[in-house]
Amino acid sequence: MDILNRIADLRCRKGWSEYELAKRSDLPQSTISSWYKKEMLPSIPSLEKICTGLGITLCQFFCEEEQAVTLTPEQKKLLHQYSYLTDAQKGKLDLFLQGLICK
C-alpha cells in the first residue's frame, strides 16, 4: 500500500486541502507537505493523528475499501461477550442463531 497516496485519496474524498487535514489532525501543515516533498512516510503517532482527523481507525486506513467494517456499539458489545464463551457455548450459540435465522 502506498501510504502517502492513501492519505491524499482520503483527504481528497473529503474535499480537504493539506491545510484542512493538518488542522483536523493537530499536525503542522509543513509536516504533511514534507512527507510528499521528501517521499517520507509518517510515523505511527502521526498516522494515528491523521486517522483521527479523518474520522477513521488505523485498521480502516489499511483496509481495502470493500473490507472496511464499522461495528455499531451493540455489535461491539455482542462480540465482547462472545469472547468470554467456551468453545462448547459458542457452538450452542451458533446452533441457536441458525435456528432463529432459518425460521
pLDDT tens digit sequence for 34-69: 999 999 999 999 999 999 999 988 888 988 665 656
- Could you confirm whether domain 3-66 is CATH 1.10.260.40? yes
- The answer to whether 18 touches 33, Cβ cutoff 8 Å, is yes
The pLDDT, as a whole number, for residue 25 is 97
Please list, in sequence order, all residues whose beta carbon lies within 8 angstroms of the beta carbon of residue 47, skipping any fewer than 6 positions away.
3, 58, 61
Domain boundaries, the chain: 3-66, 73-102
Average pLDDT on 65-83 reads 78
For the stretch 14-32, pLDDT in tens is 999 999 999 999 999 999 9
Is residue 93 pLDDT above 70, yes or no?
yes
pLDDT at 97 over 90: no
